[in-house]
Chains A and B, each alone.
Chain A
Amino acid sequence: MIETLIFSLLTGIFVGISAGYLGSLMVLEKMSLVGDALSHVALPGLALGILFNFPSFLGAFAFLFASAVAIWYLGRVTKLPYETIVGAVFTLALAIGVIMIPQAELLEALFGDITTVTIVDTVAAIIVSVVALSLTRMIYKKLVLGMISEELAISKGIDVSKINLLYLLLVSLVVAVGIKIVGTLLVGFLVIVPAAAAKNISSDLSRYAVLSASFGVVSACSGIIISNYVNVATGPLVVLSGIVVFVITVVAKQMAK
């Protein structure tokens, strides 16, 4: 029991930090819905993992990876906003996933179940988070400059298109491990709400990024700890904890005016 809680918390800490940190860019790029919708694309991958008995993380990541590449490529070719492209494919993926996935596992896939976390899941979450955090840190400023002005970024020798692809792939990785905690329906929350809360009370980039990662950890860990005591599914509690943080930042912002 204690072992599961420790694994859960470790997973929550690392996924919370990485989802919050990567999500801070997604919110700036006005791609919040991309993060949310992208997570649903993982469902058919989870189903394949369950049906063919291989780690569902791998199936989820394979689908997320393929979708991220397809979204990036279509965005580049059609110049349509990412949100439009994702919107066009994610409901299809959700529908296929729900059809494919066995009824018994559907709830876990949709809402996650941290109580089934193993040491393998935890180690995977730690490795993925460290890799995603390190690489995102390296391209963070470049991505922000690309958001401010693509021309400025290109004139400074930054390949905006390539770093966008790398970023989408890193988001896919983090979403794939985050699914274990909150499920495919709610994992988008982890990349959106901590960042939105941080944005409410930030005036510079480093504070914004640090607060976003911190709020990610606070949301994930509070949800896991409360769930351990009240015997309610973790995913919704993570969401509720995050919303409490968000509301506090809204109040703080209003008071600071």
Chain B
Amino acid sequence: MENNDDYVLKVSNLSVKLQNQTILDNVNFKLKRGTSLAIVGPNAAGKTMLFKALLNLIPHTGKIEWAEKVKIGYVPQNIAVDDIPISVKDFLSFKNDANIESSLSPVRLGNKKMGDKTLGILSGGQLRRVLIAWALADNPNVLLFDEPTTGVDHDSEEPIFATLEELKKKHNITILLITHDVHIVREYSDYLLALNRCVTFFGESKEIMTPSVQKIIYGETVCAGTPDEKT
């Protein structure tokens, strides 16, 4: 039998209107504790706005119910660090109780010199890891991750998601991530929410490979991949 305590988040009738434009329309979904949800959708589908509403950063209507004692870590899509002389240590110290080395080791950046590096000179993959470390610094039990692979080369993508997967299993963290990558959805998320202002699909992530779901998300069937993907 389904227990209400199993759920870390319940969203009902969520709508967002900004400057008289409907950004999100009547969004409903529930998410179980310790699972991961991939949010997909075309540009301007309202994915980032959904995160902002979940974080209560923008005005919205409807109901967003987080479980009690939930602590959210947020990793935004973009941060402006190119022109700021700020070291990794400085950045992590913004979280009051951040211990630099113990913050960096879960994201596989345990190198002692890493703390002294300037954020602006890090590679895309390293910066993403520092952002995850930032989000994890005060032990959240929910992680919101907007476009995890923005500015990250293909080789660096997998280790980032492997790290997230490891953290999820180890600390029972619930992960919500926005992505465009079908492979990431299939490999690293349990549930899929397709958004195009309203929810066009919500279900298990493995269903993203079925033609009917692909048609809902992309408007047409995505070309078949490698033979083993068809099985």
Contact = CB atoms under 8 A, between A and B. Distances in A.
A30 B84 CA distance: 10
Interface stretch (A2-10, A70-78, A147-155, A184-192): A147-155
A207 B90 CA distance: 11
A164 B57 CA distance: 18
B86 A148 contact: yes
A148 B81 CA distance: 6
A204 B85 contact: yes
Given A154-B57, A155-B74, A204-B116, A147 B80 contact: yes
B84 A28 contact: yes
Interface in A192-209: 199, 202-208
A144 B76 contact: no
B79 interface: yes
Contacts of B68: none
Contacts of B87: 203-205
Interface residues of A, number: 21
B128 to A, nearest CB: 14
A204 B83 contact: no
B55 A203 contact: no
A204 B94 contact: no
B21 interface: no
A205 B80 contact: no
B151 to A, nearest CB: 14
A137 interface: no
A155 B86 contact: no
Main secondary structure of the interface of B (DSSP, over half): loop
A208 B84 CA distance: 10
Nearest to B144: A155
Interface in B97-150: 116, 118, 134
Contacts of B78: 149
B168 interface: no
B72 interface: yes
B116 to A, nearest CB: 7
Given A151-B74, A154-B57, A204-B90, A144 B84 contact: yes
Given A149-B76, A149-B79, A151-B74, A204 B57 contact: no
Contact of A155 (B55, B79, B91): B55
A199 B134 CA distance: 24
B85 A152 contact: no
B57 A151 contact: yes
Contacts of A144: 84, 86, 94
B80 A149 contact: yes
Contacts of A205: 85-87, 90
B52 interface: yes
A50 interface: no
B89 interface: yes
Given A149-B80, A151-B76, A204-B87, A141 B94 contact: yes
Contacts of A145: 94
A154 to B, nearest CB: 5
Nearest to B86: A205
A155 B118 CA distance: 23
A204 B72 CA distance: 28
A209 to B, nearest CB: 10
A28 B147 CA distance: 26
Question: B72, B85, B134 — which one has the most chain A CB atoms within 10 A of its CB?
Answer: B85
A155 B135 CA distance: 11
B84 A147 contact: yes
Contacts of A149: 76, 78-80
A217 to B, nearest CB: 20
Contacts of B74: 151-152, 155
Given A145-B94, A149-B80, 7 more contacts: A28-B83, A30-B83, A147-B84, A148-B79, A152-B74, A203-B118, A204-B116
13 contacts: A28-B84, A141-B93, A147-B80, A149-B79, A149-B80, A151-B57, A151-B76, A152-B79, A154-B55, A203-B85, A204-B86, A204-B116, A204-B118
Interface of B: 52, 55, 57, 72, 74, 76, 78-81, 83-87, 89-91, 93-95, 116, 118, 134
Interface of A: 28, 30, 141, 144-145, 147-149, 151-152, 154-156, 199, 202-208
